[in-house]
Amino acid sequence: MHIDGNAVRIVAQDTRSSFASYDRAILDAARLSVTMLEATALSEVPARESQIALRTIHESTGHLISARGSMVKLVGHLNAVKRRSDQAPMNVGCPGETPLSGSLQEAEPEAETAFG
């Protein structure tokens, strides 16, 4: 099957960006949990009220972690599709520190890394 090479690079970049966004959101939620505990200790908020807030933060964080797990599955699916395409030999980098940027109309980058 044919897949445009520039599209492969842009999808890879957006996938890495999505992982970074999920990771930041999870980190922010963890910080919010700590902040909530610290604020509760300094305040006279009833335990029932702080419990509701903490439970809601925890549930929200769980949804973020589940969504990130779905992204891991997506990467596997995208790799499988790419392997069955005319872009199979193309290396675009695993989600992480491999920077790629641009639009679908730009030329191919000079150096690329292996897709994991």
pLDDT tens readout for residues 4-41: 888 888 998 999 999 999 999 999 999 999 999 999 99
CA distance 116 to 19: 14
pLDDT tens readout for residues 35-89: 999 999 999 999 999 999 999 999 999 999 999 999 999 998 988 888 888 888 7
Tokens encoding 77: 């699916």
CA distance 16 to 67: 14
In eight-state DSSP terms, residue 3 is -
This prediction's pTM: 0.72
Q: Which residue has the tokens 């099957």?
A: 1
Question: How would you classify residue 3: left for phi > 0, otherwise alpha for psi between -120 and 50, otherwise beta?
Answer: beta
CA distance 89 to 5: 11
